[in-house]
Amino acid sequence: MLWRKAVRDLRAMGMRAALIVVVIGAGAGTAAGISLALHDVERTRDSFYAEQRLADLDIRLARPLPPGPLLARARRVRAHPAETRLVLSGRTLLPGRAQVAAEAVGMSPAAALDRLAVTAGRGLSAAAPRGALLDPDFAERFQLGPGDRLRLGLGGRRLALRVRGLARSPEYLLATANPDYLVPQKGSLAVVFLPRASLQRLSSAGRRVNDLVVDLPGGHAGRRAERLSAGLPAARIIPRSQQYSLRLTDADIDAFSTFAPVMGLVFALVGLLLIVLSLRRLVNSQRRELGALLALGYPPRTVVATVLLPAAMLGLGGALLALAATVAVGRLVAVEYTNTVGFPGTAHSLAAGPLALAAGLALGATLLAALVPAWRLSRLEPTQAMRGERLASFGLPGWLQRATALGPPALVYATRGLLRRPVLSAATVVSLAAAIGLGAALNILISSTDSSVDAEFAEQGWTYSADLARPLPAGRAVALARRAGASTVEPTVKGPASLRSDSGFADVQLAGLPARPALLRLDLTAGAGPAPGRAVLSEQTAESLGVGVGEAIVVRTPAARAKLAVAGIARTLATRSTYLPRAQAGRLLGAPGQATTVLVAAGPRAAGRLRRQPGVARVSSKASAQAAERDLVEELTGLISILQAISLGVGGLFLVSTLALSYLDRRGEFATLAALGYGRRQIGAAVAGEALTQTAIAAALSIPLGLAIAAPLSDSIARAWFQIGLHPEPPNFVWVIVPALVLALLAVVHATRRALRLDIAATVRARLIG
């Protein structure tokens, strides 16, 4: 009997049942979908780095050496596999195009470490010595593809190559000309992979190599890495954890992993709210017949079961929809995200956790939402229940009555409609405000990233940064830059180091600055600039070390160890940089009086001449870094747009469902208005007035809510990436509020059309007003 009743009840509910199922499915599915997307993104990252075997350690040498002794060293520290490569810096020679820094990587076509994932064309082959594989971001920027020709300038030589394919490398997943800054500059570095023997032959390096990549299975990897690099003329020692692409993708995913729970939570709360309200409404509408069951002698548990059975069916439908929504949202977000990062594919999964969350949330919330009012109802006296749903005893305090009495009757009716079911109205407003606020928060983060990066670069006096092929005495480095035509030159020395404090450890890049830097200006948030024995840390390094100004730290490089004090803390995009006076940094890095980089204030012509200097490995510009940052933001905007569309879609759905439920509650009133002679425009105005008022309140509420959501996310980004602050601008809100208003209007049109299609004669006779 119960089963038949449940099916008939659902059939009688028709559209209302469908709406409740959609609300259950969308709320739970979106929350779980974001969680599934995070799971898939992490899986994609892990499987990419595992399959392409990012090396545990990469040692770049300052000068090429024969491979035999290097591999013998690797065997002595039980490094396996170990491979040698030749990596040369240069520039592109594309006719009629702006030239960019290039890095030619000569590697084994059958490399076991840092393997290439070919995304177009064919892989490396010893049989095609001039057949090169390109980084897809560079290829896309310069519209190059398999079969195209490419010329590179490496030192004094020019290489004519043929593009054989495009490939992602775990090492160069986010290739950038200036890895100091944790802002990926896609396409700013032309990464060109060639068979090692070919590059050796084409560059006259003979059989020598300048790069050793190894895996260090087993324990004590740090100590073995130190033994392996000890005494080698290392220009860079990059453990896996410090590898730029991995660091950046980790930072990105860390930032995303802080977004995901916030978004999931917002959707889950909003969904839960709507499920509870919908089900409470549903149970209360059956009050009279449940009272009759009680009067007939059915026990309270039967009454509860009578409610729970259709609720379970709705919940089941919602759970199925939630599962589908989870997979759809998860895939959509994960694909967009992994594309933005640059992974060659997305590892999709049907992870049990998010799917169980979707089904559990949908079914659990529905049953719980039905159980509470059903249990309460079953405790009533049958006569009390049989009186049916209590007519709303609507009343307002005098001041509110007067305040809402302004305007034409349709508007008064609309405004009072909001006050009739304050909980439902508040829930709708909060849901919509959360959806708009979330979208606005994402916009705020994007624009804050933009403005903080612009502000950082605007502070800097340099226009180009030239990395030297090998360390040079500072005076010679300055002379080299002046010869190229640079007006102001600032030599710096950079190298890897580790910092230790009482409570933390950090791998950093030590940078030596002149006593009074004119080009690289530090934005100090605490303390003073670098001085002998006193270093300036980035905000992120200070936080990971847990130190403040005046506290002691220990710096260690492959060449030396020293005790320092923290002189100051700087806000910088180069989050890994630690600044010391140049002389002290040079001594610690084993390059006293030398420079590894020169910062210059110069025009493009001087930069061009600087690029052609044999001692210069690569030249990157501030302008290209800014442009790349804008490109990044543009790409992120795609992902953000999807998240916003989901957010607004769910918000819109809730608005539509609230309006539809509200319409169903009040169809008798609309019929009465029609009987009184109110026409299409006036009834539309009543519906629109209510929906638009809710949207307008939600829009106003979304401003503080958006800021409240953005603040912790900005902090998370600061920890994972760099300090972006909060710089809200009116368009951050306008771009979300306008679509929300459009959605509200569409919902109004739908509800108004339904109101106007009512069978007035039949509806006015029914006792529907409540």
Partner 1 sequence: MPLVSLDRVRKAYGSGAARQLVLDELSLSMEAGEFTVVLGPSGCGKTTLLNLIGGLDTADAGRVRACGLDLTGASRAELTAYRARSVGFIFQFYNLLPTLTAAENVEAGIRVAGVDREAAREAARSLLARVGLGPLAGRFPSQLSGGEQQRVAIARALAKRPRLLLADEPTGNLDEETAGGVLELMRELNEETGVTFVVVSHNPVLAEAGRRVVRLSHGRLAEPETI
Total residues interacting with partner 1, rule: CB under 8 A = 35
List Cα–Cα distances, 740 to 259, 432, 629, 697, in angstroms: 21, 8, 29, 12
DSSP 648-711: HHHHHHHHHHHHHHHHHHTHHHHHHHHHTT--HHHHHHHHHHHHHHHHHHHHHHHHHHHHHHHH
**Closest distance to partner 1 from the beta carbon of 675 (Å):** 5
CA–CA distance, 572 with 567 (Å, rounded to integer): 16
Comparison of 533 and 679: residue with beta carbon closer to partner 1: 679
Comparison of 400 and 455: residue with beta carbon closer to partner 1: 400
Q: Map residues 237-256 to x or -, x wherever contact with partner 1 holds by CB under 8 A.
A: --------------------
Q: Map residues 81-100 to x or -, x wherever contact with partner 1 holds by CB under 8 A.
A: --------------------
Pairing of strands 149-154, 82-92: antiparallel
With CB under 8 A as the contact rule, the residue among 678, 721, 722, 733 that binds partner 1 is 678
Comparison of 592 and 668: residue with beta carbon closer to partner 1: 668
Contact 751, 659 (CB under 8 A): yes
Extract the tokens encoding 376: 């309460």
List Cα–Cα distances, 602 to 92, 312, 484, 485, 611, in angstroms: 20, 72, 9, 7, 12
> What single-letter amino acid sits at 736?
V
**Closest distance to partner 1 from the beta carbon of 287 (Å):** 17
**Closest distance to partner 1 from the beta carbon of 423 (Å):** 16
- Reduced to 3 states (helix: H, G, I; strand: E, B; else coil), residue 434 is helix
Comparison of 574 and 674: residue with beta carbon closer to partner 1: 674
**Closest distance to partner 1 from the beta carbon of 669 (Å):** 6
Comparison of 233 and 668: residue with beta carbon closer to partner 1: 668
CA–CA distance, 659 with 747 (Å, rounded to integer): 7
User: Could you say which residues in the range 565-604 bind partner 1, by CB under 8 A?
Assistant: none
Comparison of 95 and 398: residue with beta carbon closer to partner 1: 398
Beta bridge partners of 275: none
- Candidate ranges 30-38, 253-261, 584-592, 672-680; the one touching partner 1 (CB under 8 A): 672-680
Comparison of 451 and 672: residue with beta carbon closer to partner 1: 672
> What single-letter amino acid sits at 275?
I
With CB under 8 A as the contact rule, the residue among 669, 691, 695, 744 that binds partner 1 is 669
Residue carrying the six token digits 């009495």: 405
- Candidate ranges 275-283, 605-613, 671-679, 733-741; the one touching partner 1 (CB under 8 A): 671-679
- Candidate ranges 460-468, 562-570, 667-675, 725-733; the one touching partner 1 (CB under 8 A): 667-675
With CB under 8 A as the contact rule, the residue among 197, 328, 531, 769 that binds partner 1 is 769
**Closest distance to partner 1 from the beta carbon of 420 (Å):** 5
Residue 576 is classified by DSSP as: T
Comparison of 199 and 673: residue with beta carbon closer to partner 1: 673
User: Could you say which residues in the range 156-215 bind partner 1, by CB under 8 A?
Assistant: none
**Closest distance to partner 1 from the beta carbon of 261 (Å):** 40
If one counts every other C-beta atom within 10 angstroms of the C-beta of residue 262, the result is: 17
**Closest distance to partner 1 from the beta carbon of 306 (Å):** 27
Contact 589, 562 (CB under 8 A): no
> Judging by beta carbons within 10 Å of its beta carbon (0-12, 13-18, 19+), is residue 300 exposed, middle or buried?
middle
CA–CA distance, 12 with 6 (Å, rounded to integer): 10
With CB under 8 A as the contact rule, the residue among 676, 708, 734, 738 that binds partner 1 is 676
Q: Map residues 737-766 to x or -, x wherever contact with partner 1 holds by CB under 8 A.
A: -----------------------xx--xx-
Beta bridge partners of 190: 102
Handedness of CA 406, 410, 415, 416 (dihedral sign): positive
Q: In b/e form, how buried is each residue of 407-428, taking b as 16+ CB within 10 angstroms? A: eeebbebbbbbbebbeebbebb
> How many CA atoms are closer than 13 Å to the CA of 364, on its beta-carbon side?
8
The gap from C-alpha 741 to its chain's centroid, in whole angstroms, comes to 26
Beta bridge partners of 682: none
When asked if residue 552 is in the footprint of partner 1 (CB under 8 A), the reply is no
**Closest distance to partner 1 from the beta carbon of 395 (Å):** 5
CA–CA distance, 667 with 657 (Å, rounded to integer): 15
Q: Map residues 398-437 to x or -, x wherever contact with partner 1 holds by CB under 8 A.
A: ---x---x--xx--xx--xx-xx-----------------
- Reduced to 3 states (helix: H, G, I; strand: E, B; else coil), residue 712 is helix
Comparison of 726 and 769: residue with beta carbon closer to partner 1: 769
Comparison of 356 and 392: residue with beta carbon closer to partner 1: 392
Comparison of 416 and 482: residue with beta carbon closer to partner 1: 416
**Closest distance to partner 1 from the beta carbon of 292 (Å):** 21
Comparison of 679 and 704: residue with beta carbon closer to partner 1: 679
When asked if residue 674 is in the footprint of partner 1 (CB under 8 A), the reply is yes
- Candidate ranges 99-107, 561-569, 650-658, 668-676; the one touching partner 1 (CB under 8 A): 668-676
CA–CA distance, 2 with 766 (Å, rounded to integer): 27
Region for 345 from its dihedrals, namely left if φ exceeds 0, alpha if ψ lies in -120 to 50, beta otherwise: beta
Beta bridge partners of 710: none
Extract the tokens encoding 357: 């969350």
> What single-letter amino acid sits at 587?
R
If one counts every other C-beta atom within 10 angstroms of the C-beta of residue 612, the result is: 13
With CB under 8 A as the contact rule, the residue among 619, 673, 687, 713 that binds partner 1 is 673
**Closest distance to partner 1 from the beta carbon of 656 (Å):** 22
**Closest distance to partner 1 from the beta carbon of 686 (Å):** 10
- Candidate ranges 105-113, 188-196, 673-681, 693-701; the one touching partner 1 (CB under 8 A): 673-681
If one counts every other C-beta atom within 10 angstroms of the C-beta of residue 596, the result is: 26
**Closest distance to partner 1 from the beta carbon of 695 (Å):** 20
The four Cα atoms 569, 572, 578, 580 give a dihedral, to 10 degrees, of: -80
**Closest distance to partner 1 from the beta carbon of 393 (Å):** 4
Comparison of 168 and 666: residue with beta carbon closer to partner 1: 666
Pairing of strands 101-107, 189-195: parallel
**Closest distance to partner 1 from the beta carbon of 392 (Å):** 6
**Closest distance to partner 1 from the beta carbon of 753 (Å):** 13
**Closest distance to partner 1 from the beta carbon of 459 (Å):** 59
**Closest distance to partner 1 from the beta carbon of 267 (Å):** 32
Residue 98 is classified by DSSP as: -
Helices assigned H by DSSP within 158-243: 196-202, 221-229
Q: Map residues 687-726 to x or -, x wherever contact with partner 1 holds by CB under 8 A.
A: ----------------------------------------
**Closest distance to partner 1 from the beta carbon of 764 (Å):** 6
Residues in the chain: 770
Comparison of 96 and 397: residue with beta carbon closer to partner 1: 397
Comparison of 95 and 422: residue with beta carbon closer to partner 1: 422
User: Could you say which residues in the range 343-402 bind partner 1, by CB under 8 A?
Assistant: 391-396, 401
With CB under 8 A as the contact rule, the residue among 516, 563, 757, 767 that binds partner 1 is 767
> What single-letter amino acid sits at 199?
L
CA–CA distance, 718 with 182 (Å, rounded to integer): 12
Binding site for partner 1 (CB under 8 A): 391-396, 401, 405, 408-409, 412-413, 416-417, 419-420, 668-669, 672-680, 682, 760-761, 764-765, 767, 769-770
